[in-house]
Chains A and B, each alone.
Chain A
């Protein structure tokens, strides 16, 4: 497979934009590349832009949650941005609510949210040892 999805490094974050139809091999390659890059760059956060993704199936949905879980173990936050309405409806109908994955409407908001999440995590570490709190959930009402 020559085709690969490029992963860009921006400071402590990794950016990747899915702009082609995902097929299964591509998804598997992406998972592999991403975990490797997270470790190599000691990335703090991963932003996945799927605004160009128009077709999803349960495999792609599972791949997203898999990436999120792996990244969490490697101590990197994951945020998925720019999901199309049709894609969101499909995922819900498939019963995949991607619990635990942060989302944002677009790249800009996603980046801000990711920075906030990482900053909250670091301040927690500085304060004392670090309680295992999930900083991805927004403060309640």
Chain B
């Protein structure tokens, strides 16, 4: 549907429309303080200008190529808003507050306001939906990044002694994480030429067959490389669960606490600790 009157209105009344729009944004309680006011003003002006240019080439569908500049601006703006912690409603308000001033303008200037209002409302709804989509994808990007950084943060491999490594696992284990755990542990074993690796699962809330299997895989892989693994930090409930599930830990050495595991590791490395001699 091609509406010349609407395009004409946008072109001739760009300036007053912009002022009214910003007024409407203020009235809608846009949190100007969270985002820089000049940024919003600049974005509003730029968006309106791009809409005018694009509309002049036909309203059509927002997905058409000549709407690309509008989409790009909306994408960036919504993305920034989701990053800045604004709610979806606030993001949507930015676009939807254009409705009122535009409708008023149409009512004042047009002979057949209904048709124009229909065209305008379709346009703004499309823009609103698009900005919501961008907002959501911005959110998802943030979540994905956080997941990745958590994955990195949550699997440190520490050197306790010459030839003794420990990897304290904290939080739920899924296949993704265990893969990372396994890889970083094995890499570190090669790097430090360690003979013994202690896997401490004090911070793992639940152990099911899946987790147990992952642990066993890690132990076997380390053994293949010539390092021995000790699993420590098995809480009473978890020990009961493992037995109840019928998981066979095989000949894997297990210890109740990290201290016990460390003591055993030191003994196997031939390190002897002596009490200080009193004179």
Residues of A within 8 A of B (CB): 80-85, 87-89, 91-93, 97-98, 103-106, 109-110, 137-138, 140-141
- Please encode chain B, from 216 to 254, with 1 for each CB lying within 8 Å of some chain A CB and 0 for all others: 010011111111100000000000000000000001010
Chain B nearest CB from A62 CB (Å) reads 14
* Chain B neighbourhood of A140, CB < 8 A: 253
B224 contacts which of A91, A110, A137 (Cβ < 8 Å)?
A91
Contact, CB under 8 Å: B228 / A138? yes
Q: Once the chains are docked, how many angstroms separate the CA of A85 from the CA of B264?
A: 25
* Chain B neighbourhood of A104, CB < 8 A: 226
Question: For the complex, is B200 an interface residue (Cβ under 8 Å from A)?
Answer: no
Q: Once the chains are docked, how many angstroms separate the CA of A41 from the CA of B186?
A: 36
For the residues of A in contact with B, the DSSP-based class is mixed
Known: A85-B183, A89-B182, A141-B264. Is A103-B190 also a contact (CB below 8 A)? no
B193 contacts which of A98, A103, A106 (Cβ < 8 Å)?
A106
A103 contacts which of B217, B224, B253 (Cβ < 8 Å)?
B224
Contact, CB under 8 Å: B225 / A85? yes
Give the size range of B's interface with the partner. 20 to 34
Question: For the complex, is B189 an interface residue (Cβ under 8 Å from A)?
Answer: yes
Nearest 8 pairs between A and B by C-beta? Answer: A85-B186, A104-B226, A103-B226, A88-B221, A88-B224, A105-B226, A92-B221, A83-B225
Known: A105-B193, A138-B228. Is A89-B223 also a contact (CB below 8 A)? no
* Chain B neighbourhood of A80, CB < 8 A: 224, 226
Contact, CB under 8 Å: B221 / A91? yes
Contact, CB under 8 Å: B253 / A141? yes
* Chain A neighbourhood of B221, CB < 8 A: 85, 88-89, 91-92
Question: For the complex, is B75 an interface residue (Cβ under 8 Å from A)?
Answer: no
CB-defined A-B contacts under 8 Å, sample of 30: A80-B224, A80-B226, A82-B226, A83-B225, A85-B186, A85-B187, A85-B189, A85-B221, A85-B225, A87-B224, A88-B222, A88-B224, A88-B225, A89-B183, A91-B221, A92-B220, A92-B221, A97-B220, A97-B223, A98-B224, A103-B223, A103-B224, A105-B194, A105-B195, A105-B227, A106-B226, A109-B193, A109-B226, A138-B268, A141-B253
